A and B are shown apart, each in its own frame.
Chain A
């Protein structure tokens, strides 16, 4: 283990931890009836929406040409199973299975 790498990892690890911990601990003082609290309640779901947008582009890039097919099949299956049965493990597994099917189709069409 190189000392320089270890020190760098510690600096990034401590910095990342501070970014996660300080706002979480500080937020305990927020007034639940205040505007800041209300704004944060709006921000939460939008952060998930933004994470979805970033994540699906990463998936599509990873699948290569035609990558939208497995992505749409996967997320479509997730949506259908979630609406039909609820929960969140089964919809996600269904999404993975449909995505694998989409990738198989993509590869077979591509020769």
Chain B
């Protein structure tokens, strides 16, 4: 059997596939909006949150006050507070290890962790997750730097690949969701996907994500209680 961190690196490849084009795009956009290549790479290195980084670049370009910029980026990232508690039960680790693993807990890493952590031997889970996180973080930072330095060349020479790779993230979420799509949760999942998509369509993705997930969990809970009553 492979070492757990190696399995983690391998399981992180789908995330990296999705991060590469988005990271390159971030590098391009950041430099176009006035950041230096070093500042763009450092943003990915320190902030490590795609949505907040794109928002940061836009707010900087618009001359938004610093305190407001920081506040809005953190508000956008508030959803991350829900990820840790949802996977904590599958992660037997000391607080210091958890503190290390928390840095890489992005949307995509959370989704992979929730789906795949229970399949790993309990003692190997922290190292497996570290492998996933290293793959994701490395690809994000590397792609951002590449985008800042040579984004136009990459998009000019590999346009179809650059354009089609972002679907890797949606495909990843779909694959990770499939095991949960069963009665009595099926309806709740459909409502959640639709509601989150509708909010995203209306340019309120972060708010929609939180609302849709909480409403979906509520509906799933009601469905499970009804199911339990019927069978008893």
| Known pairs A1-B36, A49-B193, A88-B14; A54 contacts B84 (CB<8 A) | no
| Contact present for B70 and A12 (CB under 8 Å) | yes
Known: A24-B101, A70-B167. A50 touches B85 (CB 8 A): no
Asked whether A42 is an interface residue with its Cβ less than 8 Å from the other chain, the reply is yes
Q: How far is the CA of A97 from the CA of B161 in the complex (A)?
A: 9
**Residues A19 and B42 in contact, CB atoms below 8 Å apart:** no
Q: Count contacts between A and B, CB distance < 8 Å.
A: 278
Answer yes or no: A47 CB below 8 A from chain B CBs: yes
Given known contacts A23-B85, A24-B88, A53-B195, A75 and B174 CB-to-CB distance under 8 angstroms: yes
CA distance A46 to B83 in the complex (A): 11
- The answer to whether B164 and A50 have CB atoms under 8 Å apart is no
CB < 8 Å: which of A10, A15, A37, A51 contacts B173? Answer: A51
Q: Are B84 and A20 in contact (CB under 8 A)?
A: yes
Chain A residues, CB < 8 A from B48: 13, 16
- For A47, the chain B residues whose CB sits under 8 A away are 79, 82-83, 86, 110-111, 114, 209, 213
Contacts of B209 in A (CB 8 A): 47, 50-51, 53-54
B170 within 8 A of A: yes
Which A1-37 residues have C-beta < 8 A from chain B? 1-2, 4-13, 15-17, 19-28, 30, 32, 37
Quick check: A58 and B166 within 8 Å, CB to CB?
Answer: yes
| A99 to B189 Cα, complex, angstroms | 24
- Chain A residue numbers with a CB within 8 Å of B78 are 19
**In the complex, what residues of B have CB within 8 A of residue A24's CB?**
83-85, 87-88, 91, 98, 101-102, 105
Contact between chains at A8 and B66 (CB < 8 Å): yes
What are the residues of chain B within 8 A of A16 when measuring CB–CB? 47-49, 52, 73-74, 77, 80
Residue in B66, B88, B105 whose beta carbon sits within 8 Å of that of A28 in the complex: B88
- Interface-centre pick from A52, A93, A95 (highest chain B CB count, 10 A): A52
A27→B84 contact, CB < 8 A: yes
Contacts of A22 in B (CB 8 A): 81, 84
Stretch at the interface among B138-146, B149-157, B215-223: B215-223
Query: Across the interface, do B84 and A59 meet the contact criterion of CB distance under 8 Å?
Result: no
B39 and A1: CB pair below 8 A? Answer: yes
Beta-carbon contact of A45 and B180 below 8 Å: yes
Contact of A91 among B99, B175, B198 (CB under 8 A): B175
Chain A neighbourhood of B111, CB < 8 A? 47-48, 51
Tell me the minimal C-beta distance from A10 to chain B in angstroms. Answer: 6
In residues 41-85 of chain A, which contact B (Cβ within 8 Å)?
41-59, 62-63, 70-71, 74-75, 78-79, 82
List of A residues within 8 angstroms of B165 by Cβ: 96
Please state if B193 and A50 are interface contacts (CB–CB under 8 Å).
yes
The smallest C-beta distance from B99 to any residue of chain A, in angstroms, reads 5
Residues of B within 8 A of A28 (CB): 88, 95, 98
Binding site for A on B (CB under 8 A): 10-11, 13-14, 17, 35-36, 38-39, 42-43, 46-49, 52, 56, 60, 66, 69-70, 73-74, 77-89, 91, 95, 98-99, 101-103, 105, 107-108, 110-111, 114-115, 160-161, 163-178, 180, 185, 188-189, 192-201, 205, 208-210, 212-214, 216-217, 220-221, 224
